[in-house]
Chain A
Amino acid sequence: MSVTGLRRMAGGASREIWSLDVSLERAPGRRETLPLVLRRDPAGRVGDGGDRGAEFRVLRAAWRGGVRVPRVHWASHDGAGLGAPFFLMDRVAGETLPRRLLREDRYAGTRAGLAAELGAMLARIHALDLTDPDLADLADLAPPPADRSPAQREVERVAQGIRELAVEPHPVLDLAERWLHARTPTPSRIALVHGDYRIGNVLFDETGMRAILDWELMHVGDPIEDLGWLCMRAWRFGASLPVGGVGTREQLVEAYERASGTRVDLEALRFWEAFGSFKLALVFLMQSRVYLDGRVRSVELASLGRRTAETEDELLRFLRDEAEPGGT
């Protein structure tokens, strides 16, 4: 066996991604080269980027469930040889850059069909069996408490995170918390929620969607949460159509309903879209705290603190649209 072409890929701030080709001699004289990706927990970082063992198992379960994900091959939970836990998966050819998806002519066909593809694929994710041996005992996928709806729990979880992490008062987020609490929907069912299902985490080529990546924020909850997150302005990258700048809510909902055999409550969709900005505010606060605490001196993490204003702007749009909280 030999490894060639090892190089670090530009990736998120909370993980390392390496590209490599592994050449195996399957039989005498029969060599096979596998294009792979290695995902590794950065050494010395606090675990705010999820853990690789859980990601490995959810990818394996998703693959078996017919979700388009990179096929995983092998995981090291103790980080033997590399200093931090890692796993290997197929390197799926394609692009993830939203800018290219939105602008380049060769992706015109992909753009036209993407909202429907995303809806149908999301239905497969939400159909994954939570009793699957790969999923059943994952800490990230613990069953939700019986005394609260997933929406109540998520609003409380994010609000608590904001209170712990914010180094200055954020009146907009306090106002949004009360607005969200007054509107938490009752879910029609409970499912595995991807948690970061959006353009930017979708691998695509000229034929359409190839894979959904980045499962670190997965949890058990209201499946409509993923649909709302996908419709957020933050993932339109300057374009105007609500689903990642490429499609309409109707295309998304129609495809999702057809593939899942369930109905999407549009009020719940609106709640989860607003909640998405609340959760994104926490993500920005978390990332800028990593810089402010001196853990990682990254200019990118530092700059993200100033993106909190975008999430507040979006939340205010929802708040201004309705006169009074609890008025429904």
Chain B
Amino acid sequence: MNDRPTTTELLAAVEHFLEQTAVPALEGPARYHARVAANVVRIVARELATEDQHRAREWQGLAELLGTDPAAPEGGRSAWSDALRARNEALTRRIRAGDADAGPWRTAVLAHLSRVVADKLDVAQPPRPARDERR
């Protein structure tokens, strides 16, 4: 067990430094990149706070759509991402085969993907200090 500060607390310190010290001290492209960096730190912090819930929800939805084992994969972050990737590839194959072109399964696929994308947006949280501040 690592000592405090926690990962979240350390990220908050980095974000504070970037926003309060680096951004005001810089100008031009470097200032813009410091702002983007602060935003990236916020994304990571939100992902850490929500990833357990989000990946469980995606796993559950994929199991229902594909009729696969709903038991959660054993292991850490990389086991989860391998397992989710394999099931998303299976979903993609069925979409490409035309299985989601019509009917109730299409409705279910759209509902599942809408939930997954909403979760991704909760983490990424646009609009961000993005392309509109580049020049």
Task: Check A178 against B117 for contact (C-beta < 8 Å).
Answer: no
Interface residues of B in 79-105 (CB under 8 A from A): 85, 88-89, 91-92, 95-96, 98, 100-103
- A110 vs chain B, min Cβ distance (A): 16
**Is B63 interfacial (CB 8 A cutoff)?**
no
The CA of A271 and the CA of B17, in the complex, are separated in Å by 45
**Is B14 interfacial (CB 8 A cutoff)?**
no
Task: Check B85 against A169 for contact (C-beta < 8 Å).
Answer: yes
The CA of A304 and the CA of B130, in the complex, are separated in Å by 9
Stretch in B4-12, B29-37, B70-78 touching the partner: B29-37
**Is B23 interfacial (CB 8 A cutoff)?**
no
The CA of A62 and the CA of B98, in the complex, are separated in Å by 44
Task: Check A169 against B92 for contact (C-beta < 8 Å).
Answer: yes
The CA of A168 and the CA of B100, in the complex, are separated in Å by 20
Interface residues of B in 38-70 (CB under 8 A from A): 39-40, 43
How many residue pairs link A and B with beta carbons under 8 A? The number is 108
Q: A174-B95, A324-B106, A325-B102 are in contact. Are A8 and B28 (CB under 8 A)?
A: yes
**Is B3 interfacial (CB 8 A cutoff)?**
no
Interface residue from B32, B40, B106, B117 paired with A309 (Cβ < 8 Å) = B117
- A316 vs chain B, min Cβ distance (A): 5
The CA of A10 and the CA of B27, in the complex, are separated in Å by 10
Q: A98-B132, A174-B92, A325-B101 are in contact. Are A307 and B33 (CB under 8 A)?
A: no
The CA of A172 and the CA of B119, in the complex, are separated in Å by 14
Chain B: interface size category: 35 or more
Task: Check A307 against B85 for contact (C-beta < 8 Å).
Answer: no
Task: Check A169 against B88 for contact (C-beta < 8 Å).
Answer: yes
The CA of A130 and the CA of B1, in the complex, are separated in Å by 67
Task: Check B133 against A99 for contact (C-beta < 8 Å).
Answer: yes
Residues of B within 8 A of A307 (CB): 124, 126, 128, 130
Task: Check A168 against B85 for contact (C-beta < 8 Å).
Answer: yes
Residues of A within 8 A of B36 (CB): 299-300, 303
The CA of A302 and the CA of B37, in the complex, are separated in Å by 10
Residues of A within 8 A of B113 (CB): 171-172, 175, 312, 316
The CA of A99 and the CA of B127, in the complex, are separated in Å by 12
Q: A298-B33, A307-B124, A310-B121 are in contact. Are A237 and B132 (CB under 8 A)?
A: yes
Residues of B within 8 A of A323 (CB): 102
Interface residue from A8, A302, A306, A316 paired with B29 (Cβ < 8 Å) = A8
- B129 vs chain A, min Cβ distance (A): 9
The CA of A169 and the CA of B81, in the complex, are separated in Å by 12
Minimal Cβ-Cβ distance residue in A for B47: A306
Residues of A within 8 A of B43 (CB): 303, 306
Task: Check A309 against B124 for contact (C-beta < 8 Å).
Answer: yes
Minimal Cβ-Cβ distance residue in A for B81: A168
The CA of A170 and the CA of B109, in the complex, are separated in Å by 13
Task: Check B101 against A324 for contact (C-beta < 8 Å).
Answer: yes
Task: Check B117 against A97 for contact (C-beta < 8 Å).
Answer: no
**Is A238 interfacial (CB 8 A cutoff)?**
yes
- A6 vs chain B, min Cβ distance (A): 14
Task: Check A172 against B117 for contact (C-beta < 8 Å).
Answer: yes
**Is A9 interfacial (CB 8 A cutoff)?**
yes
Residues of B within 8 A of A302 (CB): 40
The CA of A309 and the CA of B121, in the complex, are separated in Å by 6
What 18 additional pairs, Cβ within 8 angstroms, besides A169-B91, A323-B102?
A9-B135, A11-B134, A11-B135, A96-B135, A170-B92, A171-B109, A174-B92, A175-B95, A175-B100, A175-B110, A200-B132, A299-B36, A304-B130, A306-B123, A306-B124, A312-B117, A312-B120, A316-B117
Can you show 27 pairs from A to B with CB atoms below 8 A apart?
A10-B32, A10-B135, A12-B134, A96-B135, A168-B88, A169-B85, A169-B89, A169-B91, A171-B91, A175-B113, A178-B100, A200-B132, A298-B33, A299-B36, A303-B39, A306-B120, A306-B123, A307-B128, A309-B124, A313-B118, A313-B121, A316-B113, A320-B110, A320-B114, A324-B101, A324-B106, A325-B102
Which are the 5 A-B pairs with shortest beta-carbon distances?
A309-B120, A169-B88, A98-B132, A306-B124, A324-B102
